[in-house]
Amino acid sequence: MFVKLSVSPDAIETTRNVLSAKHSEFPFDRKYLILIEKLLYAKLPKLAEFCDACMDTATLDTLGLAPIEVHLKAIRSANSTGEAIFRGATISKATGVPVFVKLSVSPDAINYPQRLECQTLRIPPYRNYIASIFTLVGHAKAEAATDVVIFFLRTSAGEVLSHRRLQSVVTSNNIQLSLSAANALYPRTVGLQLQGFGFDVRARSNTTTVVVKLHRYLEVLDWLLSDMSVDDLKTIIEYKVIKGLKEPPSRAMICRTQVETSIGELLGSYYLKEVWTRKTAAEANLLVLKLEAAFKTRLDSAKWLDDATRANAQEKLSHLIHLLGGPKNPKTYPTLTFDPKAYIANLNKVSAFDTTFNLALIDTAVDKHLWNK
């Protein structure tokens, strides 16, 4: 396992399918959604408390900014750019909110296809949105703060970069570096982020490596941060902490999606108890075993393979495993207790749990039974 750093989704994003009403055009999906709805309201352990806290908008309105006030104070009291970025990284570790890069843990393979989309900002409505959230958190100069954020987002998204520079950003490859080398090349965007997550970035301190995605983009972003004033940088980080707190049009939809995103394996474990019977599991397993056997037979008899290639393929096939239905050991968060009146605290608990879990995988053998790896 190694550390993987990708660009914060504010500038360049990948798409992800989530559970939503648009999938309900198929009969199977309608049944699936109906069962999910049933599980969400079935008062199941942990799931019930998490959902209740999300749906309790009255408590959320009463709490206001209290759940993130300590983070805002930490950002506002920073005295240097390095201190501001480091504090942003520690907040990211605690809450899962990416600051300038997103840290994840992946198996030792870097040939992942990437689909990148440069997001074009619709400035007037987006400006109103940013100004509104700064006003809601009591920022003394909401309009000035909005100007800072808009300039940063446009610049980091490539709108102010030359076409040639933008092309090199989008087509660049991933690079694998030692932690010390990554810290030396990208001290602000990567180095302080790694330190905030507890990594030792000194030379020869360990053998852990980091794969940096879009390294040319990070070069530009690191330069941009180096030229930014402390106050502007604190404004950007504060915005990243508070953005997305607007009330969605459908609370039930956002809570259902949040359950899937945050504690999806817990929900999945309840779902499988309803639909994944021993009979279903046995039939599916038998089908896969027959497919594997048929593949092995064709592999053994293929005349176009030479002996060395066939032996290599047979060796790989012998290590093949399959997972059906769901993960062998789903994350059910046994050490966590969710408070039905503390939604943000529940989210932070899950993020901290997942971060600790993922960091523990670094420099270990790949566990093929992990569902999301």
Q: What CATH number should be reported for the domain holding residue 245? A: 1.10.1380.10
CA distance 315 to 130: 56
Q: Is residue 289 part of a domain?
A: yes
> In whole angstroms, what is the distance from residue 38 CA to residue 352 CA?
28
The pLDDT value recorded for residue 249 is: 52
The answer, yes or no, to whether residue 10 has pLDDT greater than 70, is no
State the pLDDT at residue 246.
46
What tokens were used for 58?
């009255």
The better pLDDT of the pair 363, 42 is held by 42
Same domain for 142 and 264, yes or no, is yes
Domain count, the chain: 2
Q: What would the pLDDT profile of 264-305 be if each residue is shown by its tens digit?
A: 999 999 999 998 999 999 999 999 999 999 999 999 999 899
Please classify residue 287 by burial: count the beta carbons closer than 10 Å to its beta carbon, then call 0-12 exposed, 13-18 middle and 19+ buried.
exposed
Mean pLDDT of 122-146: 75
pLDDT in tens, 89-101: 888 888 877 777 7
Residue 343 lies in a domain: yes
pLDDT the model gives residue 271: 92
| C-beta separation of 1 from 362 below 8 A | yes
Range of the domain at 192: 2-269+339-359
Length reported for the chain? 373
What sign does the CA torsion over 103, 174, 209, 185 have? negative
Are 235 and 121 within one domain? Answer: yes
Judge if 292 and 155 occupy the same domain.
Answer: no
- Check residue 283 and give its pLDDT: 93
Residue 75 covered by a domain: yes
With a pLDDT cut of 70, the percent of the chain lying above it is 78
- pLDDT (tens digit, 9 = 90+) per residue, 212-256? 777 777 888 888 888 888 898 888 888 887 774 444 457 788 888
- Residue 263 in contact with residue 50, Cβ under 8 Å? yes
Do 77 and 223 fall into the same domain? yes
Average pLDDT over the chain, rounded to an integer: 77
Per-residue pLDDT, averaged over 150-158, amounts to: 73
Please give the average per-residue pLDDT across 108-130, as a whole number.
51
pTM over 0.75: no
Residues 152 and 219 both lie in one domain: yes
User: Which residue's structure tokens are 């000194």?
Assistant: 202
Q: What pLDDT does 282 receive?
A: 93
Three-state SS across 239-305?
A: HHHHCCCCCCCCHHHHHHHHHHHHHHHHHHHHHHHHHCCHHHHHHHHHHHHHHHHHHHHHHHHCCCC
Q: Are residues 10 and 55 in the same domain?
A: yes
How many whole angstroms separate alpha carbon 221 and alpha carbon 216?
A: 9
pLDDT for 192 equals: 87
Residue 138 pLDDT exceeds 70: yes
Query: Residue 359's Cα: distance from chain center in Å?
Result: 14
Same domain, 227 and 300: no
Residue 187 lies in a domain: yes
Q: Which tokens belong to 52?
A: 């209740």
Looking at the fold, whether 281 and 259 belong to one and the same domain comes out as: no
75 and 96 together in one domain? yes
pLDDT tens-digit readout, 315-336: 998 888 888 888 888 999 999 9
Q: What is the mean pLDDT of residues 336-340?
A: 95
> CA end-to-end span of the chain, whole Å?
10
Helices (H), 56-199: 57-63, 66-76, 81-95, 123-136, 142-157, 163-171, 179-185, 192-196
Q: 207, 363 in Cβ contact below 8 A? A: yes
213 falls within a domain: yes
